[in-house]
Amino acid sequence: MQTLSPALRQLIIAMGDDALILGHRNSEWTGLGPVMEEDIAFSSMAQDKIGHAWALYRVLHEHGGPDPDAFAFLRLAEKYTCCHLVEQPIGEYDFSLMRHFLFDHAEALRYEALADSSFVPLQQLARKIKGELKYHTLHANAWIIQLAQAGEEGKARMQAALEETLPLALGIFEPLAQEAELIASGVYCGEAALQQRWWESLQPILAKAGLALPATGDLEPAYGGRSGWHTQYLAPLLDEMGAVFRLDPEATW
């Protein structure tokens, strides 16, 4: 069994933790969505994200890492490397939708890049997941455009949500300590290149929605998550998420 380089482990864990934590947050809309279709949409996206996290943790497991369930549920908060964006509470629907829009565009581009990765397990996974994420971005785009065009209040709320969420979203692209090695070996293009592609991909949709994108230079990215430094919101989320698992970690389901 081939073991993974620390740089590769770092990338896979960051991706898996983002998907797991946002998946959990999305699931908090189950039963509470503003309309039934949205309740179903956020629940479905939660299921997809948690499934993607599980697939990534399995890649670790297949290369000598821990059991995927134990890895998902039993780590201390500082061992998670998710970005601050995904930790935030669901808030109002405008925030949750904006987070979904900004995160899923980034994730779709990340898997698009990984579909040509030199690391075969990620390449295979990316080819599958990138198709599934088309429905996430389709859903996000439709709602961002509709709500921003739904009158004065809608537009003002979506613009405010965009400005509040952008600095957090820039944290998705916090550079990984050893990413130069991953770029050199053709695993992927690196965070800065992804951020550039993401920024370009947002423009046409926000233009259609009539929302103004602030200049990135004026924003302070929410960094720290990739090195295990988190907001006050992660620890309570982990407590709740792992409560049932910790009752009996050896149980089979």
Residues that bind other proteins in the complex, under the rule CB under 8 A? 37-38, 40-41, 43-45, 47-52, 54-55, 121, 124-125, 127-132, 134-135, 138-139, 142
Minimum CB distance to other proteins smaller for 54 or for 173: 54
Minimum CB distance to other proteins smaller for 130 or for 226: 130
Other Cβ atoms within 10 Å of 36 Cβ, number:
8
Q: How far is the CB of 63 from other proteins (least distance, A)?
A: 13
Closest by Cα among 104, 115, 78, 77 to 22: 104
Minimum CB distance to other proteins smaller for 135 or for 223: 135
> Is there a contact between 7 and 161 (Cβ–Cβ < 8 Å)?
no
Q: How far is the CB of 245 from other proteins (least distance, A)?
A: 17
Other Cβ atoms within 10 Å of 74 Cβ, number:
15
Q: How far is the CB of 248 from other proteins (least distance, A)?
A: 20
Q: Where are the alpha helices (DSSP H) in the chain?
A: 6-27, 36-62, 68-73, 84-87, 93-114, 120-148, 152-170, 179-184, 191-209, 234-241, 243-247
Q: How far is the CB of 151 from other proteins (least distance, A)?
A: 21
Minimum CB distance to other proteins smaller for 132 or for 163: 132
Which two three-digit tokens encode residue 99? 């987070």
